[in-house]
Every structure is written in C-alpha cells, then in structure tokens.
Amino acid sequence: MIVITVKFPVLPEHAESWPERVREFTEATRAEPGNLWFQWSRSLEDPNEYVLIEAFKDDAAEAHVSSDHFAKGLEAMRPALAATPKIISRQVDGEGWDEMGELRID
C-alpha cells in the first residue's frame, strides 16, 4: 500500500473553515476504489496546521492524483494556504493498520 502524510500550513483566517473547504475533496477521495483511509487532524502545537494521513492500495494512488476532484480540491485549498504543504509518501507492506506491539491492551 502507499501511505501518505501531508502537513498543510493554513492561513489563520482560514483555519476554522478548513474542514468545510476540503469536505467535497475528502468525500470524493474516500469514495475512490482503492482508498484505504483519508483522515484529517489538527496539530496540537500549531492550530493553523492540518495533517492529512491517507493510504491507497498500490495501484490506486495514481488514479487519485489524476482525478478531476484531486485537481479541484487542490485549487480550493490554494488560497487558504500560508505555504507549500510538506509531504511524505512511501510504499509499505500491508493492507491496513496493525496493532502496536509495544503498547498492548488486553
């Protein structure tokens, strides 16, 4: 699977409305065949930073970035961003979340 983490530095005046700004893009991506997860979080250290974690089956990420809703979503984000987002994208073994071995709750 391909796992992607992106940090979005949002302009302060758009921080509260960010979830609504990306709602359509989020829903469309979650509906894609091959999308395993697409989850937003807000940074505890910087209230103007949103973090996206997403994963796709190996052959699905290319279709995602080629989709119409991907281009439309990026254009919706652009005016609300303070800087270029930072990304980590890696192919990893597996097809989902595993339990954390170091912190087991039985």
Mean pLDDT of the chain: 94
How large is the average pLDDT for residues 8-14?
98
CATH code for 2-91?
3.30.70.100
- Residue 92 CB contacts under 8 Å (≥ 6 apart), including other chains: 1, 2, 3
- How confident is the model at residue 60, as a pLDDT? 76
Question: pLDDT digit string (tens) for 40-88?
Answer: 999 999 999 999 999 999 877 777 877 888 899 999 999 999 999 999 9
Phi, psi of 54 (to 5 degrees): -145, 155
Structure tokens at 6: 């992106």
- State how far the Cα of 22 lies from the Cα of 79, in Å rounded to an integer: 12
- How confident is the model at residue 59, as a pLDDT? 75
Fill in the DSSP letter of residue 24: H
**The whole model's pTM is what?**
0.91
- How confident is the model at residue 89, as a pLDDT? 95
Which residue ranges make up each domain of the chain? Answer: 2-91
Phi, psi of 79 (to 5 degrees): -70, -15
Structure tokens at 26: 């989020």
